[in-house]
Amino acid sequence: MNDGCRGDRAVRDAPRQAGPGRPVREGPLPLAGRTGELAALDEVAEQVLAGQTRVVQLAGNAGMGKSALLHHWLDSVRRFREVRVRCHRLRRDFAFGAVRRLLHPVVAAAGEQERRALLDGVGDTVLRILDPEGPWGGDPDTYADAAGTLAGLDRLAFRLSRREPLLLAVDDLQWIDPPSLRWLAHLVHRADTHPILVAVTTRTGERPAPGDLYDALVHPAACRTLALEPLKPADVARLVALEFGEPRPDPSFCAACHAATEGHPLFLRALLCDARRGGVRPTREDRDRIRSFGLPTLLREVRQRVGQGSPAVAELARGLAVLGDGMPWSLLAAYCGTGEAVVRSAGAELRSLGLLGSGEEPRFVHRVVRDAVLAEWTPQEVGAAHARAAQVLHLSGRPDEEVAAHVMAAGPVSGTWPPAVLRRAAGEALRRGAAETAVTYLRHAVFQPATPGEHARVFLELAVAASHYDTALAASYATAALENLTDDDARSKAVAVLAYSHLMSRGGRAGSPDLARLATELSTRTGAAAADRESLLRMQALIEWLELERPSIRGTVRAEKRATAVDLDGRTSGERQLLAVRAFAALRAGEPADRVTELVDRARANSPALSHDLFPLHYFVAGSLLYLDDLDGADALCGRLLDGTKDRGMELLASSLMVYRSAVALRRGHVAQAAEIARTASERPRAHGELPYRMTLDTITLDALLAQGDLEGAEHLAASHTAVDQAEPSWEWPRFLMSLAALRAAQRDHRGALTLLRESGQHFETAGIVSPAIGPWRSRAAVVSLRLGYGRDARALAEEELELARRCRIPRTIGVALHAVGRVTEGTQGLDLVEEAVSVLERTPAELELARALHTLGCALLRRDDKPGARTALRRGLELAVKCGASAAARNLQHQLHEAGGRTPDPCSLTAGEERVAALAAEGWSNKQIAEHLYVSLRTVETHLTAAYRKLCIGGRHELPEALKGGSYVVGQVGHASGG
């Protein structure tokens, strides 16, 4: 078993001396008064054996018997693969330490073949977590992706549970390390039907951090919490009888014991032990003597027992209290400054005094012994003891995280090695995907004695580590680093982290760095880098990016002579960065697509690996590809960058790439796919702070909901956003306003929609965004203006967008503008323009835009009484809308197709399996319930539902009841529906 596996032994392992009269029971006292809790634990176990994933929490004050109850139950439970661990205060900063101590023994005990099967595909990071010293592959200098690490651990746990139901027991959860807590919370909500039981004990009033992860783990939906109450008088009487070997102790004596301890198990056991040792008997005559015993007496007795031994015993007790249970005898000897034989002899003496457990490893019989020993010291003496422990562990070659725990407990420690240990421990934490733990180590490194320059480098490392999960924190540390960094490369890296932090803080204005400070620093760096062309180019790229982000600072940033496009061929990283920024600037300005494409191609030639120093290279290349409509190139770049994040722990970047992938899917018109990716991105595990590009993600989700016809869901999402700082909002805000205007138009609030679109246009103009590829607000405003009767304004807006679109030469943009002009133009000219729009859009990946144009074309032909032509256009548009999952457009197209005399598809095209699954889902059954009822897998249920949504042309589960009512719905095989 793992360390700590036998749980809370209390003082029960102390040798017992028989009192006068009857023999006294040897060994630990049995549990009393916990019959209900044991039954509840058995009930939860049965639920897990029936196929549910459950959590059970034993909560109570210190000494209430949580550990004793847990381990008593674990010793009796059957039919589980049971692993257990006890958490310790000093190990709270061991990244995935609890996970390692839980799972490593199971993997190590497996045979070679079983071990290979268990670990197949879990990832190098998981292998390093389980055995840091093992001969695992992979680059030891790479950082782990948090989501990938959690998924690998999930995979291992699922495999273990398939072999045998898995029981993970964690004692003293309040001291668990945050990465392990994150995995447990993640596992519980991912396991679903896997037979996994997580049993934990938690001390009342001491919540593990982070609190939101703890709340997720013990949420009532999956967790049953058992609050341990004090023992009742009858339970106290039973324990009195067992402790004194007296079958019928005096009731008044038992009542006095209950009153003195209020039924607290630890206090009661301490009181009874001390009373018996003091010659007290369970009689009426001795009941008043009970008041002189209790926990203070116990603490005094511990100190007295230690004092009864030799000086070596006292030194060993102090060493064990500081170093912690389970330390090798050799390390205890080094701490005590004596030989191992002397320490072992002292251990035997300490055991004879009833303070040390009976196992081979040195371990106090209860945590109260450790508390009693440490209570003798002042805080300064405790700090000095931890400093001594850190030095002993360091010189003994113990892992850096063990040494770092004592360095942090000690406070400032003299010497050059403590900061180095903390920084190495931080690096190891990053390699395991535990950026928060790395920041904890580095924060303590800042307070170690060092020069200002050395502290500045620690601040820079803090900025890099924090940038993995919290951009506001990263910006703060990078700014602090710039105060004392003198090395040009280090200062450039700090500036790059500031830029990265801004790019990743979209939607969370509080997380943006001080851009004025950044602009000033860039001016300084440009002058300093004048002799170094590569550094100069990188600084120029960041300056030009900053001018794009904040137009108000244009002209305020001093720079040396800037490189021209002729000077840049993309051979170096600096050149590629500058080319990427200028490509996106040209795109925003509405320059011709071939010119933008040329710059992008040069920028992404031999594109290097990810790093903070390379921002904003990949950011602007990705943006340019998206709006140039090179969606295949955008997908390829996104996939490559996502692969790159797997080994670098760039959690925020990985999340932002998911948002980008969702945007690519929506540009293709794949509504259902875009919505699913957006949902996955929003649920992606992350440590702190807001999801990067939250507003962009919500804009994509809003567009998808509108395309699916879910106006209620769209309104709920829109209501979660309030007006931002209007002085200089980012480009995300006007795009959100465009989507909000579409919602208002769908709700028939055309005046509100037009107001929002004009406001959006003002923001785009302020930001210098001319291209309708990025901000097609005019074409949307034209259609709304027409509905309000402003025909002249509508025509002017649409024609202005068409002119801009022809200038930028992006086919989608031209097709959308042509469609808008055709809609606001009457007669044959309007029809010709719509036909031209269809012709242009056919050559683009914009399938949903094409479906909308075909709808307009079909309606126009129907007004001219060309029903065959109308049916052809409408049927094709319906095929595309159904393929895209755009149920709102599909319903409109179906209605018009019916008006044109075309036959809509037969409801019977749902397969029998799809119909059964859809019917149950419409009645409110969950996927899991459906799978169990029909004896199919969850994957099969999901596949049938996805197909049903597509065939029914609806956006999701909430529309099933209406769609299935009476069989009047649009279903698959629309291509086979014939017209008249």
Strand partners, 171: 86
Question: Which amino acid does the sequence have at 116?
Answer: R
CB atoms inside a 10 Å sphere around CB 391? 21
> How far apart (Å, rounded) are the C-alpha atoms in residues 512 and 234?
62
Residue 648 scores a pLDDT above 80: no
Indicate if 132 and 180 belong to the same structural domain: yes
Give the residue among 302, 305, 316, 308 at the shortest CA–CA distance from 371: 302
CA distance 580 to 149: 32
Q: Please choose, from the candidates 115, 116, 134, 114, the residue with its C-alpha nearest in 3D space to the C-alpha of residue 125.
A: 134
- What is the average pLDDT score of the chain? 81
- Look at residue 157 and tell me if it is in a domain: yes
Minimum mean pLDDT range among 184-193, 197-206, 506-515, 921-930: 506-515
The better pLDDT of the pair 489, 84 is held by 84
Question: 271 near 290, Cβ under 8 Å?
Answer: yes
The whole-number pLDDT of residue 564 equals 55
pLDDT tens sequence across 315-357: 999 999 899 888 899 999 999 999 999 999 988 888 877 778 7
Return the pLDDT at 80.
92
CA–CA separation, 720 and 710 (whole Å): 16
Assess whether 482 and 554 both reside in one domain.
yes
- Do 796 and 727 lie in a common domain? yes
What Rg, from alpha-carbon coordinates, does the chain have? 35
| Residues 183, 47 within the same domain | yes
Assigned domain for 404 exists: no
SS3 letters across 250-262: CHHHHHHHHHHHC
Region of residue 144 (phi > 0: left; psi between -120 and 50: alpha; otherwise: beta):
beta
Is pLDDT of 56 > 90? yes
- pLDDT tens column, 549-566: 766 655 554 444 455 554
pLDDT at 980: 31
pLDDT at 516: 54
Q: Cβ distance 543 to 581 under 8 Å?
A: no
- Provide the pLDDT for residue 211: 79
Is this structure's pTM higher than 0.75?
no
Distance of CA 754 to the CA centre of its chain: 39
102 domain residue, yes or no: yes
Q: Mind listing the pLDDT tens digit for each residue in 822-864? A: 999 998 999 999 999 999 999 999 999 999 999 999 999 999 9
User: Could you tell me if 637 and 623 are in contact, meaning their C-beta atoms sit under 8 angstroms apart?
Assistant: no
Which CATH number do you get for residue 128?
3.40.50.300
For residue 970, how many C-alpha atoms fall within 13 Å in the half-sphere facing its CB? 30
SS3 label, residue 686: coil
pLDDT at 638: 86
Identify whether 356 is part of a domain.
no
Residues 61 and 130 in one domain: yes
Q: How far is CA 9 from the centre of its chain?
A: 37
What residues contact residue 529 under an 8 Å CB cut-off, 6+ apart? 488, 492, 535, 536, 538, 539
Hey, what are 309's tokens? 């031994």
pLDDT level of residue 7 (50, 70, 90 thresholds): very low
User: In terms of domains, do 193 and 215 share one?
Assistant: yes
H/E element, 39 = helix 35-49
Structurally, the chain folds into a number of domains equal to 5
Nearest to 652 by CA among 510, 497, 543, 539: 497
Which residue in 469, 461, 456 sits closest to 441, CA to CA? 461
Q: Which of 719-728, 785-794, 893-902 has the lowest mean pLDDT?
A: 719-728
User: Where does the pLDDT of residue 974 fall: very low under 50, low under 70, confident under 90, or very high at 90 and above?
Assistant: very low
Q: Is residue 5 part of a domain?
A: no
* Confidence at residue 973, expressed as pLDDT on a 0 to 100 scale: 35
| CA separation for the pair 490, 482 (Å, rounded) | 9
Res 931 pLDDT > 60:
yes
Query: Residue 702's domain is classified under what CATH number?
Result: 1.25.40.10
| Residue 748 burial class via C-beta count within 10 angstroms: exposed 0-12, middle 13-18, buried 19 and up | exposed
The residue among 454 and 654 whose pLDDT is bigger is 454
311 inside domain: no
Which tens digits make up the pLDDT trace of 400-415? Answer: 999 999 999 998 888 8
pLDDT given at position 14 = 34
Does 805 map to a domain?
Answer: yes
Here the tokens at position 686 are 């992350």
DSSP lists the bridge partners of residue 225 as 57
Q: Which whole number is the average pLDDT over 802-825?
A: 96
Q: ∠ CA(720), CA(723), CA(726), 5° rounding?
A: 155
Residue in 522, 569, 567 with CA at minimum distance from that of residue 547 = 522
Reported confidence tier of residue 180, pLDDT bands at 50, 70, 90: very high
Rounded Cα distance between 855 and 889, Å, is 8
Helices (H) and strands (E) in the chain, counts: 46, 5
| Domain match, 287 and 178 both | no
Structural domain for 221, as ranges: 35-227
pLDDT > 80? residue 766: yes
Residues 569, 644 within the same domain: yes
Both structure tokens of 526 = 């440009």
The residue that leads in pLDDT, 729 or 510, is 729
Distance CA 853, CA 837 (A): 7
**Count of other CB atoms within 10 angstroms of residue 842:** 14
Q: What is the CATH number of the domain that holds 538?
A: 1.25.40
Query: Is the pLDDT confidence value at 476 over 80?
Result: yes
Which among 488, 462, 487 has a CA at the least distance from the CA of 479? 462
Residue 138 predicted with pLDDT over 50: no
Q: What is the dihedral of CA 850, 854, 860, 864, to 10 degrees?
A: 140
Indicate whether 27 pLDDT > 80: no
- Same domain for 96 and 59? yes
Average pLDDT rounded to a whole number, residues 709-728: 73
Question: pLDDT exceeding 70 applies to what percent of the chain?
Answer: 82
pLDDT at 517 over 60: no
Query: What gap in Å lies between CA 258 and CA 252, rounded to an integer?
Result: 10
Question: Of all residues in the chain, what percent carry a pLDDT higher than 90?
Answer: 33
pLDDT at residue 273 in the model:
78
Least confident stretch, 69-78, 243-252, 636-645, 878-887: 636-645
- What is the predicted pLDDT for the residue at 145? 59
227, 246, 270 — which closes off a domain?
A: 227
The number of beta carbons lying within 10 Å of the beta carbon of residue 773 is 26
Q: Across the chain, which distance is largest between two alpha carbons, in Å?
A: 116
Instruction: Give the Cα separation of 10 and 270 in Å (integer).
Output: 9
pLDDT reading at 979 higher than 60: no
Question: Per residue in 584-607, pLDDT tens?
Answer: 999 999 999 999 999 998 888 765
Residue located via tokens 């996939």: 639
Over 80: is that where the pLDDT of 660 sits?
yes
**Distance separating the N- and C-terminal Cα atoms of the chain:** 77
H/E run at residue 224: strand 223-227
Calpha distance 299→307 (Å, rounded): 12
210 upstream amide cis, omega within 30 of 0: yes
The residues, any chain, with a CB within 8 Å of residue 342's CB and separated by 6 or more, are: 312, 333, 336
Whether 62 is in a domain gets the answer: yes
242 versus 145: which is more confidently predicted? 242
- Contact 886/949 with Cβ under 8 angstroms? no
Note the pLDDT of residue 4: 38
pLDDT above 50 for 137: no
**Contacts for 263 with CB less than 8 Å, ≥ 6 apart:** 229, 230, 231, 232, 233, 235, 236
Which pLDDT does position 430 carry in this prediction?
83
Q: What is the pLDDT of residue 194?
A: 86
Q: What tens digit of pLDDT does each residue of 675-707 get?
A: 888 887 776 655 455 566 778 888 999 999 999
Residue 951: CATH number of its domain: 1.10.10.10
- Give the residue from 886, 905, 924 where a domain finishes: 905
The whole-angstrom separation of Cα 310 and Cα 312 is 5
Domain co-membership, 137 together with 246: no
Assess whether 514 and 592 both reside in one domain.
yes
Pick 961 or 29 by higher pLDDT. 961
Q: Which of 859, 886, 905 is the last residue of a domain?
A: 905
Does 729 lie in the same domain as 630? no
Q: Is 579 exposed, middle or buried (0-12, 13-18, 19+ CB in 10 A)?
A: buried
- The pLDDT of residue 650 is 65
Confidence of residue 964 (pLDDT cuts 50, 70, 90): confident
Tell which wins on pLDDT, 760 or 243.
Answer: 760
Segment among 352-361, 460-469, 521-530, 664-673 with least mean pLDDT: 521-530
Q: Is residue 196 helix, strand or coil?
A: strand
Peptide bond into 907 cis (omega under 30): no
pLDDT value at position 210? Answer: 74
CB contact set of 493 (below 8 Å; sequence gap of 6+): 460, 464, 612, 613
* 276 band by pLDDT with thresholds 50, 70 and 90: confident
The pLDDT confidence band at residue 505, using thresholds 50, 70 and 90, is low
